[in-house]
Amino acid sequence: MSIRETEFSDQVEATVTFSGKTQRIQWRKEMSLLDAMLNAGIDAPHSCCSGKCGTCVCKLQAGEVRLKRNFVLSETHLQQGLILACVAAPVSDSIHITYDNF
């Protein structure tokens, strides 16, 4: 494995649609999706940053994440693909989420 491959093995690619704009960002596995978006310059909505308020809710369109905590989304919401960006950790290598049209 090359040094470059090692550098990126702890990251996944996230495709984010926000306010009509879609962009790809690198998401380090040890940080939340919200932190990855903020680091990439995406002004994603947020407030509590601990899975309690729901301000950061978005829809998972592709891929899989795990929510470290969830105090606001019901089982129905989860089945609809809604996630909390502030506590989302990647499971799959590629994720696509949207804040638009859900």
Q: How confident is the model at residue 101 (pLDDT cuts 50, 70, 90)?
A: confident
Average pLDDT value for residue range 57-75? 97
Of residues 75, 60, 14, 18, the one with CA closest to residue 42 = 18
For residue 85, pLDDT beyond 70: yes
> Do 88 and 7 touch, CB atoms closer than 8 A?
no
Phi, psi for 34 (deg, rounded to 5):
-60, -45
pLDDT digits (tens, 9 = 90+) for 2-52: 444 434 569 999 999 999 999 999 999 999 999 999 999 999 999 999 999
C-alpha–C-alpha distance, residues 53 and 81, integer Å: 17
- Tokens 């491959």 sit on residue: 5
Q: How many CB atoms lie within 10 A of CB 77?
A: 16
Please give the mean pLDDT across all residues of the chain: 92
| 88-90 and 21-28 strand pairing | unpaired
Assigned superfamily of 3-98 = Beta-grasp domain (3.10.20.30)
